[in-house]
Amino acid sequence: MANLALREEYPKIIIENKINAIGKPEISITKLAKGNPLEFKVRVAIMSEIEIADYKTIAKKTATEKIAEVTEKEVENTIIEIKKMRAKTVSDQQPKTDDKESIDNNKDKEEEELPEIDDAFVKTLGNFKNVADFKEKLKENIKAEKTRKANDKKKAQMMEEIAKSSKMVLPNIIIESELDKMIAQFKGDVAQSGGTFEEYLKHIKKTEDDVRKEWRTDAEKRAKSQLILNKIATEEKIIAPKEEVEKQMKQMLNHYKDADRERVRIYVETILTNEKVFEFLENQK
């Protein structure tokens, strides 16, 4: 009954007193006796008010980096890397031998004989009509990647400038939460590559606590950026389109069938809202 009462009363206390609480509260019951009122104390982290900088002016001043055209040398260098990767794949499929002379001969052969780029070869790489079509699409992909990197750089510069001129106090719980997300994401990336986080730690001869200490500065930056984006979204009444949220939620839940629906919703809404905020900032003239 005490637990039921706390679940009902705690949200009311937060709302009525306009407490901007974050994280899980620490609740201690101070009086629990038959025929007497329930008494308890609550300790919770609160988000301090953010004095955000003039983000519109900063957005106007943040220069857009001009995307350089893709050179033929960049295309050729990428093709060479693709040829090396394909040659390595073929080599890995060959029968292994312990004979040193054979190993040396095979190595020399791999270095000298990379596959030729012809129509037949490019068709094995994807839906390409011929070499000319392959090179044109490769050029487009390289330019798209350069554009993405330039946009990411601009966003990072914008957030850094806004954060530098804003005033906020980051509760430790937010930094720790960001570190948790960074560690979880990294564990997922390692698992996708066929390894484990424990193996990675063993390889670098560090503990998870060591990694968290090293990543703490980046976690603070990421947390500040997210708080700034949240503040701008609130100030400018920017929200993620409901239809797009539902669409992306469905895609994610189809891929991650065991994922918690509410967590997925929060994640998708955050990502889409962030994108809308950056669009708003980039459109400041």
**164-204, pLDDT tens digit by residue?**
999 988 888 889 989 998 999 899 888 888 889 999 999 99
3-state secondary structure the chain: CHHHHHHHHHHHHHHHCCCCEEEEEEEEEEECCCCCCCEEEEEEEECCCCECCCHHHHHHHCCCCCCCCCCHHHHHHHHHHHHHHHHHHHHHCCCCCCCHHHHHHHHHHHHHCCCCCCHHHHHCCCCCCCHHHHHHHHHHHHHHHHHHHHHHHHHHHHHHHHHHHCECCCCHHHHHHHHHHHHHHHHHHHHHCCCCHHHHHHHHCCCHHHHHHHHHHHHHHHHHHHHHHHHHHHHCCCCCCHHHHHHHHHHHHHHCCCCCHHHHHHHHHHHHHHHHHHHHHHCCC
* pLDDT above 90: percentage of residues in the chain: 39
Q: Among the three residues 166, 194, 214, which one is the final residue of a domain in this structure? A: 166
Q: Among the three residues 122, 151, 166, which one is the final residue of a domain in this structure? A: 166
Could you tell me if 75 and 174 lie in one domain?
A: no
Could you tell me if 62 and 72 lie in one domain?
A: no
Could you tell me if 214 and 262 lie in one domain?
A: yes
Type of residue numbered 14: I
- Residue indicated by tokens 């570190």: 179
Stretch among 14-23, 32-41, 202-211, 243-252 having the lowest mean pLDDT: 14-23
Could you tell me if 143 and 185 lie in one domain?
A: no
pLDDT at res. 94: 57
- Cβ contact 46:19 at 8 Å: yes
Residue 28, phi then psi, degrees to nearest 5? -125, 130
Q: Residue 4 class from Cβ within 10 Å (0-12 exposed, 13-18 middle, 19+ buried)?
A: exposed
**Domain membership of residue 274 as a residue range:** 55-67+167-282
Alpha carbons 68 and 262: distance in angstroms, whole number: 42
Could you tell me if 154 and 217 lie in one domain?
A: no
Could you tell me if 88 and 197 lie in one domain?
A: no
Q: Among the three residues 113, 139, 166, which one is the final residue of a domain in this structure? A: 166
Residue 105 pLDDT class (50, 70, 90 cuts): low
Does pLDDT of 106 surpass 60? no
Could you tell me if 183 and 247 lie in one domain?
A: yes
Q: For residue range 111-123, what is the model confidence (pLDDT) as tens digits?
A: 446 778 888 888 8
pLDDT at res. 240: 92
pLDDT at res. 91: 53
The rounded Cα 213 to chain-centroid distance in angstroms is 19
Could you tell me if 84 and 106 lie in one domain?
A: yes
Could you tell me if 154 and 123 lie in one domain?
A: yes
Contacts of 130 (CB under 8 A, 6+ apart): 119, 122
Alpha carbons 267 and 65: distance in angstroms, whole number: 29
Could you tell me if 200 and 59 lie in one domain?
A: yes
The domain tally of the chain equals 3
Could you tell me if 83 and 142 lie in one domain?
A: yes
Q: For residue range 222-254, what is the model confidence (pLDDT) as tens digits?
A: 999 999 999 999 999 999 999 999 999 999 888
Could you tell me if 150 and 180 lie in one domain?
A: no
